[in-house]
């Protein structure tokens, strides 16, 4: 981020976020290398590979919804059930519901599926979405019978 970026404002709430993100920052975000420091937190034991993504201090609404659902007992993760079901495109309440769903169905097999879909999802989007939207959905539905249906089987 540039030095003149407004402080204490999440990137998605900036009026024109592209003008604040440097080329290096864009590369780090696109390649997810900005997540590497969280690997240290996993090694220390403050986080796990899979769990609800840590909420920003400014996401009081998400924190409140998670507290209502008692999701805060799970260690935060590098990826999570909400991330493979829409990431930031999901409403706050739905994200908290997805975190609760993960808590209720917590298992090693579910974690493996979430990790697999975390890496596979962007590949499918990059490969098929730009070429033909219909192909992307056919592949997703055909292979996975939709992400939610697959993961709800447990």
Query: Using H for helix, E for strand and C for coil, what is the string for the chain?
Result: CCCCCCCCCCHHHCCCHHHCCCHHHHHHHHCCHHHHHHHHHHHHCCCEEECCCCCCCCCHHHHHHHHHCCHHHCCCEEECCCHHHCHHHCCHHHHHHHHHHHHHCCCHHHHHHHHHHHHHHHHHHHHHHCCCHHHHHHHHHHHHCCHHHHHHCC
In 10 A of CB 24, how many CB atoms? 9
* CB hemisphere CA count around 86 (13 angstroms): 13
Residues 84-138: tens digit of each pLDDT: 887 667 788 999 999 999 999 989 999 998 888 887 766 665 555 555 544 444 4
Residues 27-77: tens digit of each pLDDT: 877 776 777 788 889 999 999 999 998 887 778 898 999 999 999 898 999
Using CA of residue 30, residue 31, residue 33, residue 38, what is the dihedral sign?
A: positive
Burial level of 49, CB count in 10 A (0-12/13-18/19+)? middle
- Name the pTM for this structure: 0.66
């Amino acid at each position: 981020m540039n030095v003149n970026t407004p402080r204490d404002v999440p990137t998605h709430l900036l009026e024109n976020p592209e003008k604040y993100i440097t080329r290096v920052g864009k590369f780090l975000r696109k390649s997810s290398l900005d997540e590497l420091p969280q690997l240290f937190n996993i090694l220390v034991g403050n986080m796990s590979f899979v769990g609800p993504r840590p909420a920003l201090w400014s996401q009081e609404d998400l924190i409140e919804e998670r507290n209502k659902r008692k999701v805060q007992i799970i260690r935060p993760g590098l990826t999570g059930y909400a991330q493979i079901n829409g990431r930031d495109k999901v409403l706050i309440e739905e994200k908290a519901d997805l975190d609760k769903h993960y808590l209720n169905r917590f298992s090693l097999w579910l974690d493996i599926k979430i990790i697999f879909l975390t890496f596979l999802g962007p590949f499918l989007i990059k490969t098929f979405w730009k070429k033909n939207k219909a192909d992307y959905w056919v592949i997703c539905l055909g292979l996975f019978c939709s992400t939610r249906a697959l993961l709800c089987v447990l």
